[in-house]
Amino acid sequence: AQKITQTQPGMFVQEKEAVTLDCTYDTSDPSYGLFWYKQPSSGEMIFLIYQGSYDQQNATEGRYSLNFQKARKSANLVISASQLGDSAMYFCAMRLYAGGTSYGKLTFGQGTILTVHP
Amino acid sequence: DAGVTQSPTHLIKTRGQQVTLRCSPKSGHDTVSWYQQALGQGPQFIFQYYEEEERQRGNFPDRFSGHQFPNYSSELNVNALLLGDSALYLCASSLAVNEQYFGPGTRLTVT
């Protein structure tokens, strides 16, 4: 079984500053992928970034980077230079690749609401 | 290139009724997954379809069923609706292991 924990119900950041959203995961499987999504009030889940468990380097996508610490089982999302449009709910999710399959479901955390202040 | 599309956007049903939600995956994507998201919660996996067969299922009762068509589009059917079925229903499609793209969702209200 897998579990994702996001311990920050809400976070506040000043515009143009960086913010880190925490995510820890629990699995005994060595092969997995970690995803971050942004969900604005409209409801659509927007894919931000992906990290595979065997990836040697931390993933980066523009202003988003993933601080992957495998031994600590954490996959924190770092947003640099926050913008007002970054205000949204953010979800961390995990997919297992047990047995070599690649179609595992995504298991989501409870989410963190990020508010960016001008 | 169109992303994942879902219809309808909003739906209001009465307890005991049946509902069908529709999803068209991103172009070229052959795998479709459905999720239920209650207010203030993370999405919960319902099931996944590949090559017109249900490949994996979450902890949802048999009232939840689905279908995938040869063009990879999919339907989610819910029978005997309960008030607790009120939620945002999200469809997601993927082709590779490192991706899963979501549609805008269908907001279902059961009264």
Q: What is the pLDDT of residues A47-104, one digit of tens each?
A: 999 999 999 899 999 999 999 999 999 999 999 999 999 999 999 999 988 655 556 7
Q: What confidence score (pLDDT) does residue A100 get?
A: 53
Per-residue pLDDT at A2: 83
Does the pLDDT value for residue A32 go beyond 80?
Answer: yes
Residue A1: pLDDT over 90? no
pLDDT of residue A101: 53
Q: Quick: pLDDT tens for B35-80.
A: 999 999 999 999 999 889 998 899 999 999 999 999 999 999 999 9
Structure confidence by residue, pLDDT tens digits, B5-41 = 999 999 999 999 999 999 999 998 989 999 999 999 9
The partner residue sitting opposite A106, judged by closest CB among B96, B100, B105, is B100
Is residue A91 less than 8 Å (CB to CB) from chain B?
yes
B1: pLDDT strictly greater than 70: no
**Is there a contact between A47 and B99 if contact means CB atoms under 8 Å apart?**
yes
Put simply, whether B25 touches A (Cβ < 8 Å) is no
DSSP code per residue over chain B: ----EEE-SEEEE-TT--EEEEEEPSTT--EEEEEEE-TTS--EEEEEEETTEEEEE-S--TTEEEEE-TTS-EEEEE-S--GGG-EEEEEEEESSTT--EE---EEEEE-
Q: Compare B85 and B95 and report the one with higher pLDDT.
A: B85
- Would the CB atoms of B97 and A97 count as touching at under 8 Å? yes
Provide, rounded to the nearest whole percent, the portion of chain A with pLDDT above 70: 95
Mean pLDDT estimate for chain A: 93
Closest-CA residue in chain B for A102? Answer: B97
**In angstroms, what separates the C-alpha of A103 from chain B's closest C-alpha?**
7
Give yes or no for A1 touching B (CB within 8 A).
no
Q: Please, which pLDDT band fits residue B94 given cuts at 50, 70 and 90?
A: confident
By three-state DSSP, how is residue A81 classified?
A: coil
